[in-house]
Amino acid sequence: MEKLFEDFSLGLFVWQAVLFIALILLLRKFAWKPILDSVNDREEGIKNALDSAEKAKLEMENLQADNQKLIKEARAEREAMLKEAREIKNKMIEDAKDEAKETANKLIAQAQESIETEKKAAISELKSQVANLSIDIAEKVVREELSNKDKQVKLVESMLGEATLN
Amino acid sequence: MRRKISLKPITLLLFIVTFVTYSQEEHGHADSGSDKKSEVKAYIQHHLKDSYDFNLFSWTTDSGEEKHFGFSLPVILWDGGLKVFSSSKFHHGETVAEVDGNYYKNYHGKIYKTDAEGTINYDAEHHATNEKPLDFSITKNVTMIMMVFAIMFFMFSRMAKSYKKNNGMPKGMGRFLEPIVLYVRDEIAKPNIGEKYYKRYMSYLLTVFFFVWIVNLFGLTPIGMNVTNNIAVTLCLALITYIITTFSGNKNYWKHIFWMPGVPVPMKIILAPIELLGTIIKPFALMIRLYANITAGHVVLMSIIGMVFLFQNWLGSGLSFMLAFVLAILELLVAALQAYIFTVLSALYFGMAVEEHDHH
């Protein structure tokens, strides 16, 4: 211990103190601060880059998930549309059939009706012609009758024979 | 033509041409063992001491004349006025230096004021009683500190510039230094001080880490003087840690010292002086740990290198050399380890000072 005190040199202590404190201050200004700042900046830059990469990755994943969802939705929609279309088609066919049937029925009914009307008209015309004919015949018969009794009879007979032929 | 090679060049040569020095010693004449032992001891003690000139190596010629290779450093004294002169005036402690009518003598590594003849007066325990002027000389240690100052400033300011030039990436030396800087930040400062406050202490922690490490490494080179085996240097470092800790202590820190929460009142009274003493013991331990580790490492390493010359045979010297080699590698580890420990403990104390105790 005594030797320690004896070895102690005040001059060296003062020099060391002055030089060392000067060294700390100088290095702080010219070395440590710029070095640590640059390292910090670099580390922050790397961290930010990694963060944004991570974020981009997440976004990509989200996008992909979105895409998947969209595809799924589209598929579902297509299915739905196809189904609907099929239903519509069937319904249309069904409707068309119904309508066609109805129209056909109507047409048939109309046709029948018109046939009936035509028939009636034909019958009535026939009737009126028969009547006219009968009147003509009667007129001729009457005229014949008026001139020749035999001839009148003959005419009536031939007329009648004609009429039955008709 | 035989040269008595002294230990200092040996430490130098050990790193370059070990076997040359070996063979030279092999031919050494039969020196008595105790003579060599005391010489080795003296050299180790001399090596651990600060000196007024930067002596790289010295030798004794055939005629017994001591030759020194190195350069002188300025001596700065305060003795009723500033006295600056070159240490060459001491002639390695052999002569008295005369400055402005005052006489100074370098006696056992300390400067004493003497008369013209350089008389040293002793007390009963053979301690010099001459007046000692205030000594602010640029000694070998101060030169080393200045060198490390220059090297660190050069290295790290260049590293800082390379970031700017290179778009936030280090270049050259910075590539090597950056992981260490980051290690200090992420493994020493952040865990011990906490994410919130660590930034304030980074300058000190980084500076002290690199300073102690580089200084320790220089101590292991043959040219270098080990700065950290001076108690004045480690005291200065520990004192800075103590001052920073004390000034950054928050309310909780002082409360834990003077009025420890969660213990009965009599215990609080007993604990207060113990805790207060603890705040001083902690940096004191820092000071002693660094000083003792480096000094002990050097003493052991140099002793084992010294054994190479005591054995004087191939087997013993060879083994000593191997041991010295292994120890030198261990010392490389110790150099970094002590820097790490000093920094970690400083960070730990700062952490204690700024810690927030929410759980009490």
**Mean confidence (pLDDT) of chain A:** 86
Average pLDDT in the B37-60 region? 77
**A18 touching B (Cβ < 8 Å):** no
pLDDT classification of B1: cutoffs 50, 70, 90: very low
Residue B91 has pLDDT above 80, yes or no: no
Q: What is the pLDDT of residue A81?
A: 93
Residue A100 has pLDDT above 80, yes or no: yes
Dist. CA A112–CA A94, nearest whole Å: 26
Residues found in chain A: 166
Q: Name the residue among B240, B267, B224, B244 with its Cα closest to residue B352.
A: B244
Residue B207 has pLDDT above 60, yes or no: yes
Q: What is the pLDDT of residue B203?
A: 92
pLDDT in tens, A7-36: 788 888 898 999 999 999 999 999 899 889
Residues of chain B with Cβ-Cβ distance to A16 below 8 Å are 142, 145, 227, 232-233, 236-237
Residue B193 has pLDDT above 80, yes or no: yes
Instruction: Give the residue with greater pLDDT, A81 vs B89.
Output: A81
**A109 touching B (Cβ < 8 Å):** no
Residues of chain B with Cβ-Cβ distance to A33 below 8 Å are 203
Residue B81 has pLDDT above 90, yes or no: no
Query: For residue B153, what is the nearest residue in chain A, using CA coordinates?
Result: A27
Average pLDDT in the B100-120 region? 75
Window from A79-83, A162-166, B233-237, B344-348 with minimum mean pLDDT:
A162-166
Here the tokens at position B2 are: 């035989």
pTM exceeds 0.95: no
Instruction: State the nearest Cα–Cα gap between A5 and chain B, in angstroms.
Output: 9
**B232 touching A (Cβ < 8 Å):** yes
Window from B74-83, B328-337, B351-360 with minimum mean pLDDT:
B351-360
Residue B43 has pLDDT above 70, yes or no: yes
Contact A10 B204 (CB under 8 A): no
Residue B28 has pLDDT above 70, yes or no: no
Instruction: Give the residue with greater pLDDT, B107 vs B230.
Output: B230
Instruction: State the nearest Cα–Cα gap between B233 and chain A, in angstroms.
Output: 6
Residue that is written with structure tokens 């602010």 in the block: B136
Q: Would you give the end-to-end CA distance of chain A in angstroms? A: 170
Instruction: Give the residue with greater pLDDT, A145 vs A21.
Output: A21
**B275 touching A (Cβ < 8 Å):** no
Query: What residues contact B157, with CB distance under 8 A and at least 6 apart?
Result: A27, A30, A31
Residues of chain B with Cβ-Cβ distance to A30 below 8 Å are 153, 156-157, 160
Contact B202 A36 (CB under 8 A): yes
Q: Name the residue among B239, B215, B150, B177 with its Cα closest to residue A27.
A: B150
Do the Cβ atoms of B9 and B57 come closer than 8 Å?
Answer: yes
SS3 track for chain A? CHHHHHHCCHHHHHHHHHHHHHHHHHHHHHHHHHHHHHHHHHHHHHHHHHHHHHHHHHHHHHHHHHHHHHHHHHHHHHHHHHHHHHHHHHHHHHHHHHHHHHHHHHHHHHHHHHHHHHHHHHHHHHHHHHHHHHHHHHHHHHHHHHHCHHHHHHHHHHHHHHHHHC
Helices (H), chain B: 7-14, 18-26, 33-48, 140-165, 173-183, 190-193, 198-220, 231-248, 251-258, 265-311, 314-354
Q: Would you give the end-to-end CA distance of chain B in angstroms? A: 79
Here the tokens at position B140 are: 């070998």
pLDDT classification of B30: cutoffs 50, 70, 90: very low
Maximum distance among all alpha carbons in chain B? Answer: 80
Contact A11 B203 (CB under 8 A): no
Average pLDDT in the B329-344 region? 93
Dist. CA B342–CA B237, nearest whole Å: 9
Dist. CA B192–CA B207, nearest whole Å: 17
Instruction: State the nearest Cα–Cα gap between B157 and chain A, in angstroms.
Output: 5
**A38 touching B (Cβ < 8 Å):** yes
Q: Give the one of B142, B182, B199 whose C-beta lies nearest to A15's C-beta.
A: B142
Interface predicted TM-score (ipTM) over 0.90: no
Q: Name the residue among B140, B105, B324, B112 with its Cα closest to residue B218.
A: B140
Residues of chain B with Cβ-Cβ distance to A14 below 8 Å are 136
